[in-house]
Amino acid sequence: MRVQGNWVFLADRERVWKTLTNPDIVAQCIPYCEKMEPQSDDTYLATLTVGIGSVKGRFTATIRLTDPQFPERYRLIVEAQSPVGFVKGDGIVALQPTENGQTQVCIDGEVQVGGTLASVGSRLIQATANMMFNHFFDAMRQHVQSAPSTNEGEGGGE
């Protein structure tokens, strides 16, 4: 199943990148995420409980951010397992500057679903995926907009 979407952030790419790749913020923004722990510099282990239709499961997910090209794009690979099935996703997260200094975040990827979870049907799975992406990016947008501007404090180091 193909997943695509676009979200506009009222901030420059560097600021959006820093937020999207901050594991503490990501963990707060993933819908239904109970915990997310680093396994290495680019790999995280997350636990979340998700229901799609009548099928609900507690998933253990491996989330990898690979091939980073700051501040333009990175590849996101997700593999989640549960007694009710599995979800595998692979896609590109691209950050594009807009003419007015904002950032458009575009995702384009493929998702595979198997097990009992697949029995709920592709339309319901797609609707749930869209809802989760929208929830995630709405929460991310709030973090970006509440963070201090990247221009504030320049020259002071980190």
pLDDT digits (tens, 9 = 90+) for 105-125: 999 999 999 999 999 988 999
What values do phi and psi take at 60, rounded to 5?
-105, 120
Q: Residue 22 to residues 16, 28, 82, 147, 158: CA-CA distances in angstroms?
A: 10, 10, 26, 12, 15
Residue 5 belongs to what H/E stretch? strand 2-9
Could you tell me if 104 and 98 are in contact, meaning their C-beta atoms sit under 8 angstroms apart?
A: yes
19-23, 50-54, 76-80, range with the lowest pLDDT: 50-54
pLDDT for the residue 148 = 72
What is the pTM (predicted TM-score) of this model? 0.88
H/E element, 52: strand 43-52
Which of helix, strand or coil describes residue 13? Answer: helix
Distances (CA, A) of 88 to 11, 26, 83, 100, 105: 31, 18, 15, 36, 21
Average pLDDT over residues 27-40: 96
Each domain of the chain, given as residue ranges in start order, spans 2-146
**pLDDT single digits (tens) 113-157:** 999 999 998 899 999 999 999 999 999 999 998 877 655 433 333
User: Domain 2-146 falls in which CATH fold?
Assistant: Alpha-D-Glucose-1,6-Bisphosphate; Chain A, domain 4 (3.30.530)
